[in-house]
């Protein structure tokens, strides 16, 4: 299948092409020459190829194709880049992105690549930027084309504009604390600034602190912000000597500016003010929040609404199920873990359910991300975790989609969706703040209704539509634990995929092929017909799929393992890379990880070299309760362990007090026994210890023999006969 992110290479290195954009409707692709793109400062516009040309090239001898690996930094979050001391990269990226963001929507990109181009739009954009900020705006259209080409070639995300070629630059720069002899201004004036007309000093940390004070003052004191005003305030307050004279009771101030070599130039001030104050903050101060949100804030959207075939678009919905889940780790009572949230991923074209996740948080992006991982991965191993035999798994959904649509955009991390998904596995993702549109949402919502009304309302712990007052609450009746409920949902999904009627979705090719009218039959037929087989996930690394979807978290590397949420993970890679040695000698440190929410046994980490490393749960006990668990019950269990530890400490204090009381009694008794004995002043060892020890041993043997004899005699004495009425008569006659 031809998809964005497909790299085509020849063995001799002469061919190195990257498919950076596709137009499925017309079977066209935009292809970049990566030999030039990876080495040249100016990137050329990608060329247009037909699908059949690319397929013919791929089938040639000596040609290989695989997913392109972007520089690792393009897939890292802003927090991770900051940890790697790439703060200036983010500033440069955001500045470029702000200048071209009005021409990078999907409609403009398609027009630029496949249509009439963007000459008028680029020219107008340049003019607008020059009018708004003539001093810093780009003056040539070539700069805009270069940024646009870089944006398209490296994945159509803001991180495509990161200056990754500067990776080795600036690492040895000496940051001076305060002004002095060493802070000579850097630049083209030579090492000692002798070639420069301006003899101003270099910027120090002290200067930057004062600039931040000026920005804070201007933002608070003035309705309108200008760099000239900020520069004026900085120079008067931090680059002038002030002399006060009192004349006839009136204090007069005279300002004497510093020498040039002790001051910063206007250009230096403007540059560093721009570094400290972001463009967004500047626009908010200059125009106000209302105008900023209206005219300058980011606006997301997409021009393509059509769906070509199966796996072209996946959509997600979630609901809180009307049933309580039983807590399985405390059988002293019928305890509940609460009501779970079910996430379903549906293929829009076929309406087949391709993925699921059952959690206890949200609905939010974390749950949606886990459901998307499940949608892309093979279901055999997943179903086996919950007891479904491999031969009974009838769920052939293990493909990477072209697009992903998620609901409730405010809760979903746009940076994760727009950047990591595209760079890692070439997914074109959209994030809507509005709810889903079209038939797919109705199908998912109706399926939720069926599950609640026809399945979960008939099991113990279900919430009825109407409940009588005084009736026992359903949380006290929970029966299904987490694993059993997931098993039940898997069975319901397989039943839906293979039984729901979708006859209205069959096209003429499907009718001629005589396929079944179920979602699964439609899904498989469309894969082979419209989508060239789709993108099976088994062609990709599992780590790449997990890293693409799952939210980023932080784990701590210590000398004995990698810690997350109280659990310890291990990795042969970490040992060989010297992580544990570094932690032992230099202290613990943080790493970015991705955690599958439905499986505690593994974590994923991506190295700066782009390698995906699997971290495995450390199983110090062969029957560890934490292996292969869902994280929600696991966290409950960890809290339960904390309660047990706390109770054990309280019990220990009580036992310690009881033990000490008994010890005091023993000591008092022994002190009373020797109270009348004369004081022992002997220095050497006492004589007669062995003979007294022998007497004690003989006494213990005698006591043991007596106890044994008494026990034997008690067992051998026959039971006394029961008396009856004739015994009483004999007694009376004898009298």
What's the pLDDT score for residue 711? 82
The Cα angle at residue 461 between residues 459 and 463, in degrees rounded to 5: 95
For residue 276, give every residue at least 6 positions away whose Cβ sits within 8 Å of its Cβ, in sequence order, or none. Answer: 208, 211, 212, 215
Q: Is the dihedral of CA 516, 521, 523, 526 positive or negative?
A: negative
The pLDDT-based confidence of 454 (bands split at 50, 70, 90) is low
The pLDDT-based confidence of 523 (bands split at 50, 70, 90) is very high
Q: How deeply is 366 buried, as exposed, middle or buried, from its count of CB atoms within 10 A (0-12, 13-18, 19+)?
A: buried
Is residue 563 pLDDT above 50, yes or no?
Answer: yes
Q: Is the dihedral of CA 473, 474, 479, 482 positive or negative?
A: negative
Task: Write b or e for each residue in 121-146: b if 16 or more Cβ atoms lie within 10 A of its Cβ, otherwise e.
Answer: ebeebbeebeeeeeeebbeeeebbbb
State how far the Cα of 345 lies from the Cα of 356, in Å rounded to an integer: 6
Is residue 329 pLDDT above 70, yes or no?
Answer: yes
The pLDDT-based confidence of 545 (bands split at 50, 70, 90) is confident
State how far the Cα of 546 lies from the Cα of 75, in Å rounded to an integer: 13
The pLDDT-based confidence of 32 (bands split at 50, 70, 90) is very high
What's the pLDDT score for residue 508? 82
Asked whether the beta carbons of 18 and 31 are under 8 A apart, the reply is yes
The DSSP result for 56-125, as a single string, is HHHTSTTEEEEE----GGGGS-HHHHHHTT-HHHHHHHHHHHHHHGGG-SHHHHHHHHHSS-SHHHHHHH
The pLDDT-based confidence of 638 (bands split at 50, 70, 90) is confident
- Say what percent of the chain tops pLDDT 90: 10
Is residue 504 pLDDT above 50, yes or no?
Answer: yes
Query: Lowest mean pLDDT: which of 26-35, 262-271, 539-548?
Result: 539-548
What's the pLDDT score for residue 551? 82
The beta strands (E) that lie in 595-708 are given as 602-606, 612-617
State how far the Cα of 492 lies from the Cα of 459, in Å rounded to an integer: 14
Is residue 30 pLDDT above 90, yes or no?
Answer: yes
- Say what percent of the chain tops pLDDT 70: 80
Total residue count of the chain as it appears in this document: 735
CA 121 remoteness from chain centre: 38
Is residue 229 pLDDT above 60, yes or no?
Answer: yes
- What integer is the mean pLDDT of 346-371? 86
State how far the Cα of 225 lies from the Cα of 322, in Å rounded to an integer: 55
pTM assigned to the model: 0.58
pLDDT tens-place string over residues 689-720? 888 888 888 888 888 888 888 888 776 666 55
Q: At residue 19, what are phi and psi to the nearest 5 degrees?
A: -80, 110
pLDDT tens-place string over residues 370-415? 888 899 999 998 998 888 888 889 999 999 888 887 765 444 455 5
For residue 223, give every residue at least 6 positions away whose Cβ sits within 8 Å of its Cβ, in sequence order, or none. Answer: none
Q: At residue 308, what are phi and psi to the nearest 5 degrees?
A: -80, -45
Asked whether the beta carbons of 605 and 80 are under 8 A apart, the reply is no
pLDDT tens-place string over residues 169-210? 544 455 567 776 656 666 555 555 666 667 788 888 888 888
What's the pLDDT score for residue 453? 66
The Cα angle at residue 653 between residues 649 and 656, in degrees rounded to 5: 130
What's the pLDDT score for residue 228? 81
Is residue 304 pLDDT above 50, yes or no?
Answer: no
C-alpha separations of 481 from 330, 447, 454, 459 in Å: 12, 22, 19, 12
Is residue 730 pLDDT above 70, yes or no?
Answer: no
Q: For the chain, how far is it from start to end, CA to CA, in angstroms?
A: 120
Query: Lowest mean pLDDT: which of 266-280, 300-314, 334-348?
Result: 300-314
Average pLDDT, the chain: 80
């Amino acid at each position: 299948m031809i998809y964005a992110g497909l790299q085509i290479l020849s063995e001799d290195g002469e061919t190195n092409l990257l498919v950076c954009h596709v137009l499925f409707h017309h079977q066209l692709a935009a292809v970049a020459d990566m030999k030039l793109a990876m080495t040249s400062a100016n990137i050329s516009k990608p060329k247009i190829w037909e699908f059949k040309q690319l397929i013919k090239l791929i089938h040639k001898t000596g040609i290989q194709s695989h997913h392109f690996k972007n520089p690792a930094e393009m897939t890292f979050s802003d927090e991770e880049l900051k940890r790697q001391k790439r703060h200036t990269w983010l500033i440069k990226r955001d500045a470029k992105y702000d200048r071209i963001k009005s021409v990078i929507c999907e409609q403009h990109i398609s027009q630029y690549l496949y249509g009439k181009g963007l000459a008028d739009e680029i020219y107008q954009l340049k003019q607008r930027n020059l009018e708004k900020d003539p001093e810093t705006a780009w003056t040539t259209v070539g700069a805009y084309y270069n940024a646009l080409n870089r944006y398209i070639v490296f994945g159509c995300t803001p991180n495509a504009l990161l200056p990754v070629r500067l990776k080795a630059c600036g690492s040895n720069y000496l940051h001076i604390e305060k002004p002095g002899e060493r802070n000579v201004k850097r630049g083209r004036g030579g090492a000692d600034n002798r070639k420069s007309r301006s003899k101003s000093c270099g910027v120090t940390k002290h200067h930057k602190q004062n600039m931040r004070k000026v920005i804070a003052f201007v933002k608070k004191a003035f309705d309108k912000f200008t760099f000239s005003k900020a520069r004026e305030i900085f120079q008067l307050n931090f680059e002038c000597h002030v002399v006060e004279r009192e004349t006839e009771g009136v204090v007069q101030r005279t300002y004497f500016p510093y020498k040039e070599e002790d001051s910063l130039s206007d250009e230096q001030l403007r540059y560093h003010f721009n570094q400290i104050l972001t463009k967004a903050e500047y626009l908010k101060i200059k125009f106000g929040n209302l105008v900023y949100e209206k005219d300058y804030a980011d606006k997301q959207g997409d021009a393509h609404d059509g769906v070509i075939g199966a796996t072209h678009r996946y959509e997600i919905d979630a609901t809180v199920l009307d049933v309580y889940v039983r807590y399985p780790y405390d059988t002293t009572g019928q305890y509940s873990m609460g009501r779970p949230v079910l996430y379903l991923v549906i293929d829009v074209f076929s309406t087949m359910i391709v993925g699921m996740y059952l959690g206890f948080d949200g609905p939010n992006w974390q749950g949606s991300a886990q459901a998307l991982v499940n949608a892309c991965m093979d279901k055999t191993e997943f179903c086996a975790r919950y007891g479904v035999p491999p031969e009974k798994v009838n769920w052939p959904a293990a493909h990477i989609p072209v697009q992903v649509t998620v609901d409730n955009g405010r809760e979903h991390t746009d940076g994760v969706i727009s950047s990591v998904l595209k760079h890692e596995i070439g997914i074109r993702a959209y994030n809507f703040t509005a709810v889903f549109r079209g038939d797919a949402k109705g199908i998912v919502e109706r399926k939720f209704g069926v599950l609640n009304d026809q399945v979960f309302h008939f099991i113990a712990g279900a919430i009825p539509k109407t409940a009588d007052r005084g009736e026992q609450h359903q949380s006290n009746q929970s029966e299904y634990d987490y694993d059993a409920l997931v098993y039940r949902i898997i069975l319901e999904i397989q039943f839906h995929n293979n039984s729901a009627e979708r006859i209205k979705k069959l096209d003429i090719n499907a009718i001629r092929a005589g396929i079944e009218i179920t979602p699964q039959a439609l899904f498989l037929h469309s894969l082979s017909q419209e989508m060239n087989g789709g993108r099976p996930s088994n062609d990709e690394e599992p780590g790449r799929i997990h890293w693409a979807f799952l939210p980023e978290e932080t784990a701590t590397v210590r000398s004995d393992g990698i810690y997350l949420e109280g659990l310890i993970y291990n990795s042969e890679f970490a040992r060989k890379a010297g992580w544990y040695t570094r932690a032992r000698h230099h202290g613990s440190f943080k790493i970015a990880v991705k955690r599958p929410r439905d499986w505690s046994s593994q974590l994923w980490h991506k190295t700066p070299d782009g390698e995906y490393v699997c971290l495995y749960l450390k199983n110090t006990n062969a029957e560890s309760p934490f292996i292969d668990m869902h994280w929600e019950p696991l966290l409950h269990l960890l809290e339960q362990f904390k309660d047990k530890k706390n109770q054990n400490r309280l019990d220990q204090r009580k036992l310690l007090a009881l033990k000490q009381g008994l010890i005091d009694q023993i000591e008092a008794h022994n002190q009373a026994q020797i109270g009348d004995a004369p004081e022992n002043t002997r220095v050497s060892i006492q004589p007669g210890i062995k003979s007294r020890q022998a007497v004690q041993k003989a006494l213990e043997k005698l006591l043991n023999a007596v106890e044994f004899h008494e026990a034997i005699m008690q067992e051998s004495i026959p039971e006394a006969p029961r008396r009856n009425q004739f015994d009483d008569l004999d007694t009376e006659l004898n009298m």
